Amino acid sequence: MCQSRNTGKAHVLDKIVRVDKCLENLIDFINTHPHYKTLGCCCGHSKYPMTIVVQPSVGEKFELLSNTIIPRKKRFYIKDKYGYYYIPEVKSWFGFGIGTKINTSKKENKELFYMKNQKMSI
């Protein structure tokens, strides 16, 4: 996990995409698997848990490290007021926000409320 926002490059299908420098090799490795495609990733920058969103060839999109299903088709990440990205479902999965003070904006609180009350099919 890196402290700063260094950008590296990884291969997703036939494209080269920007990723956090510390995740370059891991994302390249995951994308060599024929049944997974990486849709997004963030190392968390020591503020949030590391997350990697993948689309399996069969099944729903999910966050790989927490095994959390992500119901959205895009915009998996929300930006906090400091410019760091996180996935609301995963933030609560790892205990962030439970006994930990995290500054969230009104937009983030609204999004978390929506996620909490949304019915998910598994």
Q: List, for residues 9-53, the tens digit of each pLDDT value.
A: 787 767 788 888 889 899 989 988 888 889 989 888 888 889 999
Q: Is the pLDDT of residue 116 over 60?
A: no
C-alpha–C-alpha distance, residues 26 and 39, integer Å: 13
Q: Is residue 2 part of a domain?
A: no
CB-based burial of residue 77 (10 Å sphere; 0-12 exposed, 13-18 middle, 19+ buried)? Answer: middle
Count Cβ atoms below 10 Å from residue 28 Cβ, excluding itself.
16
Residues 57-70 have a mean pLDDT of: 90
Q: Which residues pair with 55 in a beta bridge?
A: 37
Q: 70-111 pLDDT, tens per residue? A: 888 888 998 888 888 888 888 665 555 433 334 455 565 555
Q: Is the pLDDT of residue 120 over 60?
A: no
Higher pLDDT, 39 or 1: 39
> Cα 81 to the chain's mean position, in Å?
17
Q: Is residue 1 part of a domain?
A: no
Work out how many domains the chain is built from and give that number.
1
* Domain containing residue 52: 7-117
